[in-house]
Amino acid sequence: MDTIYYAQCWEDADILIKALSIEPNDNILSIASGGDNTFALLLQNPAKIIAIDKNPLQLHLVELKMMAISHFQYTEFLNFLGVSCCNTRWHLYQRLRPFLKEESRIYWDQQKKAIEKGIIHCGKFEKYFAIFRRFIIPLIHSHKNISQLLQEKTLPQQRQFYQQIWANRRWKWLFRVFFGKFLLGNLGRRPSYFRYVESNNIGEILLQRSKKGLSQISTSKNYFLQYILKGNYDDPQKSHPYLQKTNFLKLKQNLHRLELCQADLLEYLQNLPSYTISKYNLSDVFEYMSMENYETIITQLLRTSTKDARMAFWTLFIPREIPLSYKLSYQTNSLVNRSLTRHAKTFFYRDFQIWQRKTIGIGIDTKQDLLHISEMR
């Protein structure tokens, strides 16, 4: 793999944190991706996090972010990442070079343009949104409409704005085309990512999900939507947890608990001792594999998990439920899952799943979890 696909994580960290309920003795296995959600879990003070990714470039990205957290002050950190305006990023990078591993240093030495632009913008998926923002949105809406969409409103006002102003014919038509399987697969991801997706009507599916996201979830508080439409965050203090100033010192203090590992998920699990991991952030990995591989990984997750382990993952187009043969091993609660999905700022996913390994006397507490969910409103 010779591309960074995700410079940021596109799953809602707040949902993930609420679902996993991190404890001080937890050992966590987390899909690395852009690193953001692994950092969010690190803020919960677990014993250890192993961030895994089979793409070495994603790990080079996470390592560079780690070094920026470790060696910069907060303002320098935001400047270097690309959250704030800065014209000295290449100079800032020179201060981090000595602390990078050799392979990572060799890679980033050749990425001056990406560093100067800001590394949170360097992923293929982020560039895909940049095309949408630069070439598609101007054909549909003015800057005034975009600003109005992101302004604070009541949900009834938001629904009215969506129906009367935003969801015009050009929006619906161009959205279906741009976020259809061909352009999304080639410009935003990889065509192979859709190998197991049976529907050819992806653009329409995402359009309906965007309707929910723009009319039923607060747009003024959705920093994912803000980035998609504006290309950055107006206020880092109201964006991803790892970008917030109040969390920066804790990130510095907890970095020693984070370990990076380049490996295929299945191969890694097969070589992991039994009863090792208590919490799993699996991102959306099940989207890109056959049912056979899906069940093989579930078997390994069961073997490597502690007695009260929880695992969280997202699905985009392919439903992934607990297979019948594993009903005695895993439990979930559809009410909790639906509530978590409904409150997610990343409205483009199909659903969010939280599973727990079955143990007598231990389970997913519906009342407690729904109480946590209500606090997010």
**What is the structure's pLDDT at 194?**
83
Same domain, residue pair 145 and 283: no
Same domain, residue pair 244 and 371: yes
Which is nearest to 248 in space by CA: 101, 87, 39?
39
**What is the structure's pLDDT at 198?**
83
Instruction: Calculate mean pLDDT across residues 116-125.
Output: 98
Give the DSSP H or E segment for 356. Answer: strand 351-357
Q: Could you list the residue range(s) of the whole structural domain that residue 266 is in?
A: 13-122+240-375
State the first-to-last Cα distance of the chain, in angstroms, to the nearest integer: 39
With contact defined as beta carbons under 8 Å apart, do 298 and 269 qualify? no
Same domain, residue pair 252 and 354: yes
pTM: predicted TM-score of the whole model, two decimal places: 0.93
**What is the structure's pLDDT at 2?**
83
- Could you tell me what percentage of the chain is helix, strand and coil, using 3-state DSSP and rounding each to the nearest 5? 55, 10, 30
Same domain, residue pair 232 and 245: no
Q: Of 237, 263, 298, which residue is a domain's last?
A: 237
**What is the structure's pLDDT at 186?**
86
Q: Of 185, 213, 237, which residue is a domain's last?
A: 237
Distance CA 131, CA 111 (A): 21
With contact defined as beta carbons under 8 Å apart, do 247 and 42 qualify? no
Q: Which two tokens stand for residue 373?
A: 């969910």
Q: For the chain, give the mean pLDDT.
A: 93
With contact defined as beta carbons under 8 Å apart, do 160 and 166 qualify? no
Same domain, residue pair 168 and 277: no
Q: Give one DSSP letter per residue of 160-180, joined into a string.
A: HHIIIIIS-HHHHHHHHHHTS
Same domain, residue pair 199 and 219: yes
Q: Name the amino acid, one letter, at 362.
A: I
Instruction: Give pLDDT tens digits for 68-117.
Output: 999 999 999 999 999 999 999 999 999 999 999 999 999 999 999 999 99
Same domain, residue pair 272 and 286: yes
Same domain, residue pair 111 and 247: yes
Q: Of 181, 210, 237, which residue is a domain's last?
A: 237
**What is the structure's pLDDT at 367?**
43
With contact defined as beta carbons under 8 Å apart, do 122 and 111 qualify? yes
Instruction: Calculate mean pLDDT across residues 321-329.
Output: 90
Distance CA 168, CA 303 (A): 51
Of the pLDDT bands very low, low, confident and very high (cuts 50, 70, 90), residue 1 is low
Residue 31 to residues 58, 259, 279, Cα–Cα distance (Å): 10, 12, 12
CA angle 203, 207, 213 (to 5 degrees): 145
Q: Count how many domains the chain has.
A: 2
With contact defined as beta carbons under 8 Å apart, do 5 and 284 qualify? no
Helix ranges, 179-311 (H): 181-183, 202-215, 223-230, 245-254, 265-270, 291-304
Rounded to the nearest angstrom, the gap between the alpha carbon of residue 4 and the centroid of all alpha carbons in its chain is 14
Q: Is residue 133 part of a domain?
A: no
Q: Is residue 110 part of a domain?
A: yes
**What is the structure's pLDDT at 363?**
44
Q: Is residue 37 part of a domain?
A: yes
